[in-house]
Amino acid sequence: MPDIAVGGGHDTIVAAVDWGGTWIRAAAVSGDRIVRKDRRAKPASLAEQYVTVAEMVLHATADLAQPPAAVGVGLAGVVQDGIVGTAVNLGFTDGTDVAAALRPHLPLPTYLLNDAQATALGVAARWPHGTTAVLTMGTGIGGAVIRDGSLDSGLGGAGDFGHVVVDVYGPRCPCGGTGCLEALVSGRALAEAAGALAEDGLSPLLAARAQLGRALHAGDLQDAAENGDGQAAGVLDRSAFALSAGLRTIVATHDPQRIVLAGAPLAPDTWFGRAVRTHWDRARPRWARTELHHVAEDEDAALRGAASYALGRLAAARSGS
C-alpha cells in the first residue's frame, strides 16, 4: 500500500467512523473540526453492525450544506489493502471487503484502516514534519508510523507495535505469537495481573477491591503501587521494562524524531508512566535523538484520523496514483 498523505480539502465534508469492540462512533468532519457526531453500542451481529454504521453516518451528515465526499473507517482489526483479515471482537474471522459489504447501505467511497492507525493519524497531526511513531495503550497495544504527514502502513499492518517480540520465552499472545509487547504490557495483561494478585491474596488493596464484586483493571494496579504495594509495583516495573525494550526496537527500526505515548496509563505523572521513562532513560541507544512525548486522552483523535485518511485516499484515487 502506498503512503497516504494526510490533510487537504479543508472545506470538504468527510464522514468518519470509529468501529470498536464496544462502541461505534461516527462523525461529520471538516478539516480537523468535528461538525457533528454520534455514538451507539455495537450490535451483536455483523449484519446489524453494517446497518448501524450506515445509519450513523447518514445521521451525522444529514442536513449539512454538502454531502460527505467519502467515509473513513477506523476498525479494531487487521486491515490490509482495505480487506479486514481478522477482527474477532467485531465478528470478522477471515478476509472481508467491508467497504463492499457497506455499499448497499452506504453508497459512498469508503476507506478502511486499523483503529490504532486512525488514532495515531489524529494524534500526530500536531507534528506534521519528520517521523512520528505513535504507541497507543488501551485494552491492547497499537500504533503507527507517520512520515511528514503520511501513514507508513506497509501492506496495512506496519506500526502494530503490540506484536513486537520483547521476550522470546514470554507468555502466549492472542495473535498466536510468544512474548509480544501486548501480552506483557496491555491493559488486558495488567488487568489479569491485578486479578491474579487479588486472588492469591498477595495484594491487600487489590483483594479488597475484588471483594466489592467489580473487575480489576490497570488503574487498580497503579493505585496499589502508589499506596506502597510492592507486589503491584513489581508487576508494573517489569511491564515498564518490557515497554522500554519495545521503544528501543521502534528507535532501531524507524529512528523517529519522536515517539508519542497515547493512553492514560502512560501519562508521566502516573506510577507506570514514571517507571517507563526511568527504564527508557537506561535502555535508549546512546545515539538516539528520539524525544518521548505523551498525549492526553482524545476520544476524537480516531475520527479525525479516519477522516484525514479518507481524504488522502480519495485524492489519490482522483489523481489516479
Task: Provide CB contacts within 8 A for 274, sequence distance 6+.
Answer: 268
Q: Which residue has the higher pLDDT, 318 or 277?
A: 277
Q: Which tens digit of pLDDT belongs to each residue from 96-126?
A: 899 999 999 999 999 999 998 999 999 998 9
* Cβ-contact 133, 143 below 8 angstroms: yes
Read off the pLDDT of each residue in 128-155 and give the average, rounded to a whole number.
Answer: 91
CA distance 285 to 282: 9
Domain housing 277 = 128-295
pLDDT at 37: 92
Please indicate, yes or no, whether residues 197 and 110 belong to a single structural domain of this protein: no
In this structure, are residues 81 and 99 in contact, taking their beta carbons and an 8 Å threshold? no
- Which CATH number goes with the domain that contains 89? 3.30.420.40
Shared domain check, 221 and 153: yes
Number of structural domains, the chain?
Answer: 2
Residue 14 neighbours by CB distance under 10 Å: 29
Spatial distance between the Cα atoms of 103 and 212, rounded to a whole number of angstroms: 47
Let me know whether 22 and 159 are in one domain: no
Please check whether residue 290 is in contact with residue 257, taking contact to mean a CB–CB distance below 8 angstroms.
yes
- Which cell numbers in the block locate residue 66? 454538502
* Same domain for 239 and 193: yes
Are 84 and 184 in the same domain? no
Residue 147's H or E segment, with its range, is strand 141-147
Q: Based on the domain organization, do 177 and 117 belong to the same domain?
A: no
Q: What is the pLDDT of residues 62-105, one digit of tens each?
A: 988 888 999 999 998 888 888 888 787 788 778 889 999 999 99
- Cell digits for 107? 453508497
Query: β-strand 4-5 against 150-151: which pairing, if any?
Result: antiparallel
Question: For 180-230, how does the pLDDT look when each residue is reduced to its tens digit (9 = 90+)?
Answer: 999 999 999 999 999 999 999 999 999 999 999 889 999 999 999 999 999
